[in-house]
Amino acid sequence: MVACWHLWKWRNKSIFEEDFQRPNNPTNVILKMALEIDRCEQTHLDGWTHRSDTVYIGWKQPREEWFKLNCDDAHKSSVHLSGCVGQILNSNGRCVSSFTRKIGSCDAFHAEMWGTYIKMDLARRMDKSSSSGE
């Protein structure tokens, strides 16, 4: 989870911060944070009982001849910049089309709406009427 968080954070910083430089040794940065989290859990949560649930996440394949529209949006509130990226996948999980857009100045809600509009417009222009969105 720590690796995914760092990769997502670095991706967004590279889009929205012109002077951002990825770490020279990302593995060390990720491991350092994972060890720090582990140390904190052992130090501060020792003896505590807590409930743990396993939640499986993943891509669900659409029905045959259908397409899945995947889209993700990013928003940097300090500079009011937003962008989105998306793809259209066939029932085998193959990408048949993709897009990236710099949306510009708006809030997170409007970035989400723009992402939805762009992916639906792309599906319409490609005549992919049998589509489901995520």
Show the 3-state SS of the chain: CHHHHHHHHHHHHHHHCCCCCCCCCHHHHHHHHHHHHHHHHHHHCCCCCCCCCCCCCCCCCCCCCCEEEEEEEEEECCCCEEEEEEEEECCCCCEEEEEEEEEEECCHHHHHHHHHHHHHHHHHHCCCCCEEEC
pLDDT tens-digit map of 70-96: 888 887 877 778 888 888 888 888 888
Confidence (pLDDT) at 106: 82
- Alpha-carbon span 104 to 111, nearest angstrom: 9
115 falls in which pLDDT band (50, 70, 90)?
Answer: confident
Mean pLDDT of the 100-121 span: 84
128 falls in which pLDDT band (50, 70, 90)?
Answer: low
Whether pLDDT at 24 is above 80: yes
Mean pLDDT of the 83-110 span: 85
Whether pLDDT at 134 is above 60: no
Mean pLDDT of the 98-115 span: 84
Whether pLDDT at 36 is above 80: yes
Q: What is the pTM of this model?
A: 0.49
Whether pLDDT at 133 is above 60: no
113 falls in which pLDDT band (50, 70, 90)?
Answer: confident
